[in-house]
Copies of this chain bind each other. A is one copy, B any other.
Amino acid sequence: MALTQARTMPGTLELLPPDQIAFQRMLDIVRRNFERFGFLPIETPVMEFSDVLLTKQGGETERQVYFVQSTGALEKSTEGLPELALRFDLTVPLARYVAEHEHDLNFPFRRYQIQRVYRGERAQRGRFREFYQCDIDVIGKDTLSIRYDAEIPAVIYAVFRDLAIGPFTIWLNNRKLMRGFFESVGIGDPERQAHALREVDKLDKRGADYVRDTLTGEGFGLSAGAAKKILDFVQIRSHGHADALAKLDALGADNAAYVEGVAELKQTLELIRAFGVPETHYAINLSIARGLDYYTGTVYETTLNEHPQIGSICSGGRYDNLASNYTKSKLPGVGISIGATRLFWQLREAKLLGAAGNTVQVLVAQMDEALLPACLSLATQLRHAGIATEVVMESGKLGKQFKYADRAGIRFVVVLGPDEIAKGTIAVKDMRKQDQFEVHGADLVKTLRVELEQAQVMPA
Contact = CB atoms under 8 A, between A and B. Distances in A.
Taking the full assembly, how many copies of this chain does it contain?
2
A301 interface: no
Contacts of A148: 393
A233 interface: no
Contacts of A17: 40-42, 105, 111
Interface stretch (A5-13, A197-205, A428-436): A5-13
Contacts of A275: 376-377, 379-380
Nearest to A13: B45
B274 A372 contact: yes
A271 interface: yes
Interface in A124-151: 130, 145, 147-148, 151
A328 B96 CA distance: 48
Contacts of A407: 106
B147 A383 contact: no
Contact of A376 (B274, B386, B408): B274
Interface stretch (A62-70, A172-180, A184-192): A62-70
A51 B324 CA distance: 42
A391 B130 CA distance: 35
Contacts of A21: 40-41
Given A15-B42, A325-B4, A383-B36, A408 B52 contact: no
A130 B47 CA distance: 9
A4 B55 contact: yes
A38 B96 contact: no
Interface string A14-26: 1111001100100
Contacts of A271: 372-373, 376
Contacts of A377: 274-276
A134 to B, nearest CB: 14
A271 B15 CA distance: 33
A216 to B, nearest CB: 39
A72 interface: yes
B408 A106 contact: yes
Contact of A38 (B40, B108, B151, B389): B389
8 contacts: A16-B105, A17-B41, A24-B41, A67-B74, A69-B69, A72-B120, A106-B408, A154-B380
Interface of A: 1, 3-9, 12, 14-17, 20-21, 24, 35-38, 40-49, 51-52, 55, 62-72, 74, 82, 84, 86, 95-97, 99-101, 104-106, 108, 110-111, 116, 118, 120, 130, 145, 147-148, 151, 154, 158, 271, 274-276, 323-328, 358-360, 363, 372-373, 376-377, 379-380, 383, 386-391, 393-394, 404, 407-408
